Amino acid sequence: MLESILESFQSRNVLVTGGTGLIGRQIVRMLCEAGSRVKSVSLDRLTVHPAAEHIYGDLSEFGFCKTITQDMDYVFHVAGVKGSFEVTKSKPASFFVPLLMMNTNMLEACRLNKVRKVVYTSSIGAYPNAETFKEILDDDYSHPPMDFAGWAKRMAE
């Protein structure tokens, strides 16, 4: 089944935001090996895969998001804001505002540029704090996320 899914990406234009991150690197590699034309966007100046085009840029700038989503068939929006759990608690706006801007800009740019499909990754922080993590499958939003970054992720969902 995985092979047939990867075949569907062959010769497609695919953008991966956060392409230098833990998850993004693997997505970029898999898509390149599947024969996609991959663009990887990040604030890091790393080359993840020689077949991918690496773009340095800030997703909190709407014009940039509109430009990089042009002519894309698919977008994997896996970009986030780096930082420790302690920093998310002590400086919540430093995560909430950039994530909110990045998510809003990317989703709107994809809509305007008629991207066929968007894959968006959330975060464990979007769920309520618990001793044992349990994903709530109903759309019950009465329990707040763990932190402000979780609110930004939940809003994009």
- Residue in 61, 53, 59 with CA at minimum distance from that of residue 15: 53
pLDDT tens-digit map of 2-14: 788 888 899 999 9
pLDDT tens-digit map of 105-147: 999 999 999 999 999 886 544 455 555 545 555 555 555 555 5
Name the H helices within 18-128.
22-33, 62-69, 85-90, 93-112
Architecture in CATH for domain 12-156:
3-Layer(aba) Sandwich (3.40)
E strands within 82-143?
117-120
Q: In whole angstroms, how large is the CA radius of gyration of the chain? A: 16
Element (H, E) at 24: helix 22-33
